[in-house]
Amino acid sequence: MTVQIWTYVLVALTFALYIGIAIWSRAGSTGEFYVAGGGVSPLANGMATAADWMSAASFISMAGIIAFDGYDGSVYLMGWTGGYVLLALLLAPYLRKFGKFTVPDFIGERYYSQTARIVAVLCAILVSFTYVAGQMRGVGVVFSRFLEVDVTTGVIIGMVIVLFYAVLGGMKGITYTQVAQYCVLIFAFMVPAIFISIQMTGNPIPQLGMGDTLADGSGTYLLDKLDGLSQELGFSAYTEGSKSRIDIFAITLALMVGTAGLPHVIVRFFTVRRVRDARKSAGLALLLIALLYTTAPAVAVFAKTNLIRTASGARYDEVPAWFSKWEKTGLLTFEDRNGDGIIQYVADPAVNELVVDKDIMVLANPEIANLPAWVIALVAAGGLAAALSTAAGLLLVISSSISHDLIKKVFRPDISEKQELWAARLAATAAVVVAGYFGIDPPGFVAAVVALAFGLAAASFFPAILLGIFYKKMNSKGAVSGMVVGISLMLFYMLKFKFGLFDGGKEAVEGLKESWWFGISPEGFGSVAMLVNFAVALTVNYFTPAPPERVQQLVENIRVPSGAPPPGDH
């Protein structure tokens, strides 16, 4: 069978599985819609958390960034992995004990203020929409190549699928769907990595194959070979970085603390019965996430080496079929500037004739390596699983923020459970439409868009959550001021340096790099905005009244392990 037929078969089977699970586990109450009734096992929740966490950015884009940026791309590995550890160990158990299953609900109750709740809702929606745009872009990239439709049609198909199981099943449906999606995406990521590792180095373990010698008997190490190929084309050595140290530190920090403020991950810790189960599922999720994250650098090395070997210096009329198929998507372009019919892939932009979108590397990797058709199709199914699993979690955050935190808690406290459930489903539907629009016209490649979402979360939520748990005298005025200033500053920086809003549009963005504040990119500026948030919050808090005694006692209690005597009771 051809790649396209295999893709239709595997994608149809996985979609049927997801929809079947959604129908089987459809939500009948708001408790099931928001937190799956609180009855998910630690293993299932760990798998669902891993699928929720490993978005299109992790599956499709991260290895692509590492393939092109080499050492510089490691910031995504360090930031996202470290951030998950920070969330699981520092915040999740306390938030779980507090008992509020949305971040705006926690902030509204902890800071005893409807204003704080509304600001948190707006921040959650902004973060989630920015994040989900990256997922929809990932869906469009997969569909445009493997089902041979345009990106817009691909995004619309993805919208319909995710709308069905997210709106029908809520968190209950999403949880069990994500268990299936984790199995699909990890199998789809590992199988081609193992195939190519054996093919290139003879080592079946990709993580070790990346640092092994080539299977051609030359005794040359794979990384040395890639360094040499890169330098021959005028690029810097693959294993050396070009980013400034401060920018690497800022991006890593922004991704770490942004992780800890991501509302769609935090809510997963409320779907289990006990705090102990939340800790177990966090540990299991970390192991399951590490399986893909430790493999991504190897996939990047394999893909970049094979791309240079296959495309650079080849005659255009003799390129393999995969090249032509990716050309049709517009994500790979060749312009024969000197008319010699030979592909010039070099670092000098005035001479370079080949432009490759970073988001295609993982998806094209099995084709470049000439793997069997079913393996190529499997990667497509895995990419869709990764994008749709995270998109569903984000859409649930948006819908619960609107229906529970705004309508139920602010505007219509007397709303019935049935009406609230309908409001949540309508909000999710509207969110899918908006997310689809941003997926069709995104501000950059998948991981860059997602990095901006992490920056927004770092600038807004992380200080409010951290101070809310560990500083009992933190008051509502300080928290609200910090969130407003932090996210406003991050938004301004994004609009200025990522979209060129004040300086001539997207075309002018490249020329603005010299003007970055402190030499920090938009992807890393969330760390600066977070520090400003802390400074503003603590300053305002110092000059305004302390929170009520009941709130301070509440904060004391959430830090006491279950079964221990209350503070001061010896």
pLDDT by 10-residue block (mean), the chain, 570 residues: 79 78 60 53 82 74 84 82 79 74 80 87 80 72 72 77 64 72 85 92 92 88 90 84 84 85 70 75 85 90 90 86 82 85 86 84 86 85 75 73 75 77 77 76 58 83 90 93 93 82 63 81 90 96 92 82 49
10 within some domain? no
> Both ends of the chain: CA-CA distance in Å?
72
Helix (H, G, I), strand (E, B) or coil at 342: strand
Three-state secondary structure call for residue 354 = strand
Which helix (H) or strand (E) covers residue 333, if one does?
Answer: strand 332-334
196, 210 contact by CB (below 8 A): no
- List the beta bridge partners of residue 355: 333
Q: Determine the structural domain holding residue 106 and report its residue range.
A: 24-311+367-558
Is 348 within the bounds of a domain? no
Express each pLDDT in 17-59 by its tens digit.
777 776 765 555 554 455 444 567 788 888 888 877 777 777 8
Of 446, 520, 513, the C-alpha closest to 130 is 446
* pLDDT in the model for residue 564: 47
The CATH number of the domain holding residue 470 is: 1.20.1730.10
Judged by DSSP in three states, 395 sits in helix
Per-residue DSSP letter, 442: -
- Domain-located, residue 13: no
Residue 323 included in any domain: no
What pLDDT does 84 receive? 79
User: Is the backbone of residue 112 left (phi > 0), alpha (psi -120 to 50) or beta?
Assistant: left
pLDDT at residue 503 in the model? 66
Q: What is the 3-state secondary structure (H, E, C) of 265-280?
A: HHHHHHCECCHHHHHH
Q: Residue 489 falls within a domain, yes or no?
A: yes
Number of domains composing the chain: 1
Q: Residue 38 burial by CB count (10 A; 0-12/13-18/19+): exposed, middle or buried?
A: middle
C-alpha–C-alpha distance, residues 185 and 197, integer Å: 18
Taken in order 192, 195, 199, 204, the sign of the CA dihedral is positive
* Contact in structure between 461 and 263 (CB atoms under 8 Å): yes
Any domain includes 438: yes
Residue 456 contacts residue 257 (beta carbons within 8 Å): no
For the beta carbon of residue 103, count every other beta carbon within 10 angstroms.
29
| In a domain? residue 568 | no
CA dihedral 165, 277, 386, 91 (to 10 degrees): 110
Contact 463, 534 (CB under 8 A): yes
320: in domain = no
How large is the C-alpha radius of gyration of the chain? Answer: 24
